């Protein structure tokens, strides 16, 4: 029968091959009685009482029997009986108490045989192993370190009782108040035992209802919204805060008080908070009784500065609260923090700000005086770096914005914390710690870090109905050799796209505040369309090149980066788009089959590009920012050598806010413009393209100028029917010379359970457009019949079908280049028919395309994973929309 954590425990000896001794006695958690233990220490003495002897009998000898592991002399050391003492009943009882007090014996008796005292003991067994059964929610590694019993220890009943109580307490912490524990013992040879804890975990106790009594100003729903504990509902399956936790109950009382104090109710108090377990032990009902009190306003607000560098009146003028404003305790706390940081920024690290309150219950005002206590100006005595086993000290020390001997500055310490966190090498909750130095005006700064894995290797494979097999592999080390360097390599392969890249970045070149990097890459892209439901490539674009960059800081938050890029771009078409148009034996791009714009784009070109970027960045983290902004402006010029000449400008900005207790709101904007000069037009490979993933809700390159080649078929009545289905036309995105895009996104916090899984949902709105391109020459093939074009050989010669009648009456058909047969008859010219089609130019519009949607980031065991579902609210004819998208193995 299950027992409670506080019940008395005993063993009833059973027989059989697997002898089980079941702990009995006490009451269960629900209050059901259990049989009392039949033999306690005192009762054991009564069961074997010392015989009645004469009062003056002297102990001549003491003999120990029944001991196995313990030496008789060791057992004698536990009691006071000695040879030569008088033997009395009281002395025998005292000896029994002393033996049982050691918790080494399961049974003991004392008897006197004419002065020869015989002490018979039964030693407690030694624990062989501890076995947990039935524990699915709490694993062994969570329970075993919390209990007292362990293998090779002496078994005692008191430890069993304590361990039962501790296990039940662990389950209570998980909200499982119906959990029961039944301990059993399996006897083994050589006085050894196995201890088995049979655990019935029971359901998790939820909070069924939260009742609030006494609130008049704020509704129950508003107050429940301020609490961490939530009522169990169907919509709260991802939240772990619906389970009952006594610590959370106490925290919620503080949350209620904090809420009322921020609203001006300075006299608010929680009269009582009671949690009642329902009879089925599955749910709790929590009831709060509150007294709201009266609402206060700020009275006179003053500052009393005892530091000579600060003027009290000047500080008071800049305080955020004024007389007759509603009282707000949170505003008072923030003001204390701001004044403390202000003092710290001037070197007063240990300055204390104490608010002195003056409450007037008659006019309901709260006067406050912020006392800035006198403190010495502090200097940095030492900077310590601890915990780094791989990362070199200099990698951390160069991020410090205060050095040894400098005046202490809270701004410098905070900036140091953000810079070290932005490295991404250490724990997310890193903070630079401060402790007192060897003198009152000295302070020691400590960076106690926990290194995180910085190497990333990703292998992924997938299948797409369009791309067929998709393979991707990449490796990157963000802290190469512990020097803070980044090296990486990646390869992607599918039927219509391939890429390879190598990269290296040195953030501090020659240990100076100069960054440098180099990228080498090869990218191949096949544009495609559809012809009678068959996917065919329209053009191939390959880029091979490298890019080098060097950056220098202009200020703490601003930097200048110069770059040089050299690319070899090659745009080519399939053989089906070439023919001898002029009859001169030269294969040229055929505008009828390829399109004039593609014929103009083909060829190999080199680009030599110099660029400069001015960037401002005060984000609190470069990996997962929650606060700050980032702005950059980039100018690039192609023409320092190479075959192309253009000027390109690009600007982008983003900002993050931490709002609504964990919600992260962010906005971002980007724009670009490119223009050829020196008589050069902007080539296809240099234009801007938009679509997935820049604007969710559209396909890859799904926005902007494009040429659609639409087949024309017979409508069944002899008339033309233009096909517009995306899977039956050829769609060629040709990009634009200007673009803009924007994003607004709100990341929604989840409960601790979902957060532990790495889930971060968000809602978003994307907007953007790419536009401004010269209208291309369009081609068409008339309906009906299309256009017949001559078939030519590799040398450009027209081909003919020649039929010769043999002497036996048979006919030999051959393909020749002569229009005349040997007998003087004309050969039949071979032709190829281009079915009827029309080309249309669409999408060259600056009208914003707008999408809204929801997405989920998941830091899965297989790497980062992003799912988005978006709906386009605004489109332009020709745009290619897409509802669902996902990305695997990318940083976001």
Closest CA to 659 of 613, 626, 610, 624: 626
* Cα distance between residue 652 and residue 668, in whole Å: 7
- Contact predicate 189/178, CB 8 Å: no
Pick the more confident residue, 248 or 674.
674
- Contact predicate 84/59, CB 8 Å: yes
Is pTM beyond 0.95? Reply is: no
Give the pLDDT confidence score for residue 874 in this predicted structure.
94
* Cα distance between residue 241 and residue 236, in whole Å: 9
Pick the more confident residue, 161 or 803.
161
* Cα distance between residue 761 and residue 664, in whole Å: 11
Closest CA to 590 of 579, 598, 603, 574: 579
Q: What is the mean pLDDT of residues 276-283?
A: 82
Average pLDDT, the chain: 83
pLDDT in tens, 640-688: 888 899 999 999 999 999 887 778 999 999 999 999 998 888 888 889 9
For 554, the token pair is 């202009």
pLDDT in tens, 319-333: 999 999 999 999 999
Residue 454 pLDDT > 60: yes
Closest CA to 845 of 750, 740, 765: 740
For 418, the token pair is 């953000």
For 845, the token pair is 């519009």
Give the pLDDT confidence score for residue 56 in this predicted structure.
54
Neighbouring-strand partners of residue 120: 65, 109
Give the pLDDT confidence score for residue 827 in this predicted structure.
83
156 in helix, strand or coil? coil
* Cα distance between residue 513 and residue 518, in whole Å: 17
Helix 329-345 / helix 410-423 crossing angle, nearest 10 deg: 100
Q: What is the mean pLDDT of residues 586-597?
A: 74
pLDDT in tens, 599-632: 777 888 899 999 999 999 998 887 778 889 999 9
229 in helix, strand or coil? coil
pLDDT in tens, 523-581: 887 765 545 445 555 667 889 999 999 999 998 889 999 999 999 988 887 766 776 66
- Gyration radius (Cα) of the chain, Å: 42
Give me the DSSP letters along 438-458.
SSTTEEEEEEE--B---EEEE
The torsion angle over the Cα atoms of residues 420, 423, 424 and 428, rounded to 10 degrees, is: 20
Closest CA to 571 of 687, 743, 486: 687
Q: What is the mean pLDDT of residues 42-56?
A: 46
Q: According to the per-residue pLDDT averaged within each range, which of 175-179, 515-519, 884-888 is highest?
A: 515-519
* Cα distance between residue 203 and residue 151, in whole Å: 31
The values of phi and psi at residue 15, to 5°, are -110, 170
Q: What angle do CA 444, 450, 454 make, to 5 degrees?
A: 130
Residue 478 pLDDT > 60: yes
Give the pLDDT confidence score for residue 684 in this predicted structure.
82
State the first-to-last Cα distance of the chain, in angstroms, to the nearest integer: 55
For 118, the token pair is 């015989």
Closest CA to 710 of 532, 856, 546, 559: 532
Closest CA to 536 of 545, 544, 523, 527: 527
Least confident range from 168-182, 282-296, 491-505, 820-834: namely 820-834
Q: Quick one: DSSP state of residue 736?
A: B
Least confident range from 238-247, 282-291, 612-621: namely 238-247
Give the pLDDT confidence score for residue 615 in this predicted structure.
95
* Cα distance between residue 415 and residue 424, in whole Å: 15
- Looking at the chain, the whole-number percentage of residues with pLDDT higher than 70 is 86
Give the pLDDT confidence score for residue 750 in this predicted structure.
77
Residue 75 CB partners (closer than 8 Å, separation 6+): 64, 67, 99, 119, 121
Residue 43, burial from CB neighbour count under 10 angstroms (0-12, 13-18, 19+): exposed
pLDDT in tens, 255-268: 999 999 999 999 99
Pick the more confident residue, 741 or 282.
741
pLDDT in tens, 294-319: 999 999 999 999 998 899 999 999 89
* Cα distance between residue 400 and residue 449, in whole Å: 14
Give the pLDDT confidence score for residue 473 in this predicted structure.
82
């Amino acid at each position: 029968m299950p027992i409670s954590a506080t019940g008395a425990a005993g063993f009833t000896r059973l027989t059989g091959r697997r002898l089980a001794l079941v702990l009995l006695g006490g009451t269960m958690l629900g209050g059901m009685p259990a049989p009392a233990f039949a033999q306690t220490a005192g009762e054991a003495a009564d069961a074997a009482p010392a015989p009645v002897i004469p009062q003056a009998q002297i102990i001549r000898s003491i003999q120990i029997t029944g001991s196995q592991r313990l030496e008789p002399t060791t057992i004698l050391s536990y009691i006071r009986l000695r040879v030569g003492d008088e033997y009395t009943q009281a002395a025998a009882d005292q000896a029994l108490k002393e033996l049982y007090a050691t918790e080494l014996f399961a049974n003991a008796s004392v008897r006197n045989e004419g002065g020869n005292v015989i002490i018979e003991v039964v030693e407690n067994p030694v624990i062989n192993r501890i076995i947990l059964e039935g524990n699915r929610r709490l694993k062994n590694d969570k329970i075993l370190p919390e209990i007292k019993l362990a293998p090779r220890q002496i078994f005692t009943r008191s430890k069993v009782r304590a361990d039962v109580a501790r296990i039940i307490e662990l389950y209570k912490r998980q909200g499982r108040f119906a959990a029961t524990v039944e301990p059993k013992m399996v006897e083994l040879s050589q006085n050894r035992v196995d201890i088995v804890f049979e655990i019935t975990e029971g359901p998790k106790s939820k909070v069924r209802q939260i009742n609030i009594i006494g609130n008049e100003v704020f509704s129950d729903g508003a107050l429940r919204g301020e609490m961490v504990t939530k009522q169990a509902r169907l919509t709260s399956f991802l939240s772990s805060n619906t389970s009952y936790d006594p610590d959370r109950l106490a925290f919620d009382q503080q949350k209620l008080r904090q809420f009322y104090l921020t609203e001006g109710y300075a006299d608010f108090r929680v009269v009582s908070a009671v949690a009642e377990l329902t009879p089925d032990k599955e749910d709790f009902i929590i009831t709060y009784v509150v007294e709201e009190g009266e609402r206060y306003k700020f009275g006179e607000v003053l500052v009393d500065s005892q530091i000579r560098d600060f003027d009290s009146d000047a500080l008071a003028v800049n305080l955020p609260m004024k007389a007759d404003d509603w009282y707000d305790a949170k505003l008072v706390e923030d003001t204390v923090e701001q004044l403390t940081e202000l003092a710290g920024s001037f070197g007063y690290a240990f300055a204390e700000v104490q608010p002195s309150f003056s409450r007037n219950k008659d006019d309901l005002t709260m006067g406050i005086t912020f006392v800035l206590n006198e403190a010495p100006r502090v200097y940095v005595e030492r900077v310590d770096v601890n915990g780094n086993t791989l990362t070199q000290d200099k990698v951390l020390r160069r991020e410090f914005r205060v050095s040894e001997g400098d005046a202490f500055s809270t701004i410098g310490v905070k900036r140091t914390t953000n810079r070290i966190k932005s490295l991404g090498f250490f724990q997310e909750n890193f903070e630079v710690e401060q402790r007192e130095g060897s003198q009152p005006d000295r302070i020691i700064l400590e960076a106690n870090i926990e290194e995180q894995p910085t190497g990333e290797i990703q292998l992924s494979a997938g299948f797409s109905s369009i791309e067929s097999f998709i393979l991707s592999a990449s490796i990157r080390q963000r802290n190469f050799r512990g020097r803070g360097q980044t090296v990486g390599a990646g390869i992607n392969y599918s039927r219509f796209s391939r890429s390879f890249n190598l990269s290296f970045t040195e953030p501090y070149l020659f240990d100076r505040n100069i960054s440098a990097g180099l990228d080498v890459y090869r990218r191949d892209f096949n544009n495609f369309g559809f012809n009678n439901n068959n996917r065919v490539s329209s053009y191939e674009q390959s880029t091979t090149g490298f890019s080098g960059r060097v950056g220098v800081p202009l200020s703490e938050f601003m930097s200048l980066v110069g770059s040089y890029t050299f690319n070899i771009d090659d745009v080519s078409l399939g053989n089906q788009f070439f023919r001898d148009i002029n009859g001169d034996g030269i294969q040229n791009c055929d505008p009828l089959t390829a399109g004039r714009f593609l014929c103009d784009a083909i060829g190999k070109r080199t680009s030599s590009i110099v660029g400069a970027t001015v960037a401002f960045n005060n984000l609190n983290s470069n990996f997962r920012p929650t606060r700050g902004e980032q702005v950059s402006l980039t100018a690039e010029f192609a023409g320092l050598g190479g075959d192309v000449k253009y000027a390109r400008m690009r600007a982008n900005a983003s900002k993050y806010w931490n709002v609504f207790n964990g919600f992260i709101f962010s906005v971002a904007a980007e724009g670009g413009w490119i223009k050829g000069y020196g008589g050069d037009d902007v080539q296809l490979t240099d234009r801007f393209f938009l679509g997935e993933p820049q604007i969710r809700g559209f396909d890859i390159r799904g926005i902007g100028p494009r040429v659609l080649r639409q087949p024309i078929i017979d409508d069944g009545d002899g008339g033309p029917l233009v096909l517009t289905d995306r899977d039956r036309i050829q769609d060629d995105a040709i990009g634009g010379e200007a673009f803009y895009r924007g994003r607004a996104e709100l990341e929604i916090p989840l409960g601790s359970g979902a957060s532990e899984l790495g889930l971060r949902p968000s809602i978003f709105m994307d907007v953007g457009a790419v536009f401004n391109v010269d209208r291309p020459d369009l081609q068409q093939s008339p309906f009906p019949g299309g256009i017949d074009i001559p078939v030519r050989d590799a040398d450009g010669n027209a081909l003919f079908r020649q039929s010769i009648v043999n002497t036996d009456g048979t006919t030999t058909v051959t393909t020749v280049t002569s229009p005349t047969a040997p007998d003087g008859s004309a050969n039949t010219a071979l032709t190829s028919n281009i079915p009827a089609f029309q080309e249309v130019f669409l999408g060259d519009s600056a009208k914003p395309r707008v999408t809204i949607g929801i997405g989920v980031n998941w830091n899965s065991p297989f790497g980062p994973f992003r799912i988005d579902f978006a709906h386009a609210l605004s489109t332009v004819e020709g745009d290619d929309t897409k509802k669902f998208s996902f990305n695997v193995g990318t940083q976001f």
